Structure 1
């Protein structure tokens, strides 16, 4: 699914904001970009975090109308997830 984001516009957007896109190229491209496997593997942590974050009903359905209230709910849910992970470590 990550190869679906291999559009030049997406890569340029990431680059314009000071980032480096680690998106694998589609197989039919003539010029293949190299992707660092270690960095690419870490994306799994981010994807799992967002999946856990969507388990909070308030965030998944976006109850809050104001962006600041939604951000506050995301921060509270993120803190709760972090505390749950922090407590379970020995």
Structure 2
């Protein structure tokens, strides 16, 4: 749980597969930078995978971790970045799968309104909703 002028805040970080289903989920305080959760989220990526992330995840540490795991990082460079990196705008369009996952997650009222004040309970409810999202993806495939 993080503190801000507006009250308690929490960020939800998610790693999704090519179908938009969640693989890993993490919570951080609202005032924490996005890169603080990236190391744990990216630990399970397989060699040859493609990492699509937004500008908030553009850091040398994340790019180095992706290179060490033999993962191609397609992250748009921040406007103040000195060096340049290979970036595919065509592949970046598929990052909307993460946004679609968050849209599905916010359909659960308890998550959208943040009823749980305990971070462990909130994470458990997010994981439960994620399991339902997985189940729905298999129901429509039949």
The structure where helix makes up a greater share of residues is 1
User: What is the aligned length?
Assistant: 84
Q: Deviations over 1:1-56 (max 9, x none)?
A: x5xx368xx5146357x346532236787743212567634422222111110111
RMSD, aligned α-carbons: 3.1
Would you say 1:55 and 2:100 are equivalent positions?
A: no
TM-score (norm: length of structure 1) = 0.66
Task: Structure 2: give runs of 5+ residues left out of the alignment.
Answer: 1-53, 68-72
2: distance between equivalents of 1:54 and 1:44? Answer: 15
The structure where strand makes up a greater share of residues is 2
Task: Structure 1: give runs of 5+ residues left out of the alignment.
Answer: none
Q: Which has the higher contact order (CA 8 A, sep 6+)?
A: 2
1: distance between equivalents of 2:80 and 2:124? Answer: 43
- Whichever of the two has the greater Rg, that structure is 1
TM-score (norm: length of structure 2) = 0.46
